[in-house]
Structure 1
């Protein structure tokens, strides 16, 4: 394992981010980790050592992100691996969710990620190396989840920006991977990480069923092991030709396969119409 790499992980006080930080530290890897509350981060990940730099960061603030990047480089000398992990889930139909609720989800899940990339890129570009992991979701590849339209939209955005980013920075020697996990047994489906609409509409029975399933049935019974997911990220960071898309979990694999097959059917069934629209 290349212990000389320096990692920068957002959303590290719980969930996959916390497990990843713990794995990195146990392997002697230097890591800067961010959270909205540095006390929560320190309590979860442990006291500061020469390997660990806990940072309180507001990802919606460019200046806050800039300060965190500068403190990381000032402490460790560089950044090699950026993991944009911070984000939260949001349930509710498109009709139910307010503009403010939808925009807040985009502000954290999309624009927070963009802020980190924007502030980290000058350093990665200057050193002509690095690896950016954007943590998306299987919901960023398939949107067949009633009640998760806005959340899926944020993750589809993460997928799209990651693909373009990979093309933009390839010539600088920077690798980019979008990670699309299925259900992993973290606290992602608890009240602190899953938003619900302020104004529910009873007519949306499928949405309510999906919402309740995530809150009470799936939560605590997710099939994915976050420790193994963290190990997968560490392994991919060591690959010379890492994947652009990294699906994690049997459920993610199956859902992705189903989406690919659905697209293939649509392409085949409507090929004549599709290609008939040229001059």
Structure 2
């Protein structure tokens, strides 16, 4: 397969790139800062800001007539608004990256896949996107709900043309970024899974062309329980 992983220079995106490259696929990763990509990654890399439509279009065009088989969008921006107030620039960046960037990546990738009537679009969301809205809910959670909605819309639109759309909805994954956000150790996070386990779950969902993959199962049930509580009791949530 010809695979493009946006946000593939670190974290889950990089772990997926290593997996698919090791399985013999042609993998290209994109990221804002290619200096983050390890020298031994062994994949083709392209500098890309997902908010730059011209750059995204050029990245898609680079696949030429051979086309793109699989797009995985792992790029995302998180900001803890409970510890630091959101300013205009941070708000705009989160919207442009988590929602606008994904929308134009899906749009342009779909345009390359439709003539061939084949392909697969994948977006990595978060269990935060499954949480019901409530007073004081985070902008991050709202953007991740938008990711799920966008996946649903594209899945409906593209299914008649043989193109699959999968939404990946992980709980806490023990990545370097999560550890950095938690003072170097994220083991206290509920039901945290390793990067290796996350890759296993994601690869399996993609191979099965599943509509949505929520993991771990304990987090799915926790979110379901939280969503049964009155919204006024949920102000403490992230």
Normalised by the size of structure 1, how large is the TM-score?
0.73
* Partners of 1:109 and 1:155 within 8 A in 2: yes
Shift of 1:148: 6.2
Q: d(CA) in 2 for partners of 1:251 and 1:6?
A: 34
Residue pairs, 1:1-279, within 5 angstroms: 5-41=1-37, 43=39, 45-46=41-42, 52-71=43-62, 73-74=63-64, 77-93=66-82, 96-142=85-131, 149-189=138-178, 215-216=182-183, 219=186, 223-239=192-208, 242-259=209-226, 262=228
Residues 69 and 187 of structure 1: is their aligned pair in 2 closer, same or farther, counting only changes over 3 Å? same
Note the alpha carbon deviations across 1:214-249, whole angstroms, 9 max, x for none.
52386355521212222222222222xx33221022
Pairwise CA RMSD of aligned residues?
2.8
Shift of 1:23: 0.7
* Partners of 2:9 and 2:36 within 8 A in 1: yes
Shift of 1:143: 5.2
Normalised by the size of structure 2, how large is the TM-score?
0.85
Say how many residue pairs are matched. Answer: 229
* Partners of 1:92 and 1:148 within 8 A in 2: no
* Partners of 2:11 and 2:177 within 8 A in 1: yes
Shift of 1:59: 0.7
Q: d(CA) in 1 for partners of 2:136 and 2:176?
A: 19
Which protein shows a greater Rg?
1
Shift of 1:129: 1.2
Residues 221 and 146 of structure 1: is their aligned pair in 2 closer, same or farther, counting only changes over 3 Å? farther
2:45 counterpart SS class: strand
Q: d(CA) in 2 for partners of 1:79 and 1:169?
A: 15
Shift of 1:78: 1.9
Shift of 1:6: 1.5
TM superposition outliers: structure 1 runs of 4+ over 3 Å: 143-148
Please list every run of 5 or more consecutive structure 2 residues that lacks an aligned counterpart in the other structure.
Answer: 232-238
Please list every run of 5 or more consecutive structure 1 residues that lacks an aligned counterpart in the other structure.
Answer: 47-51, 192-213, 267-279
Residues 102 and 218 of structure 1: is their aligned pair in 2 closer, same or farther, counting only changes over 3 Å? farther
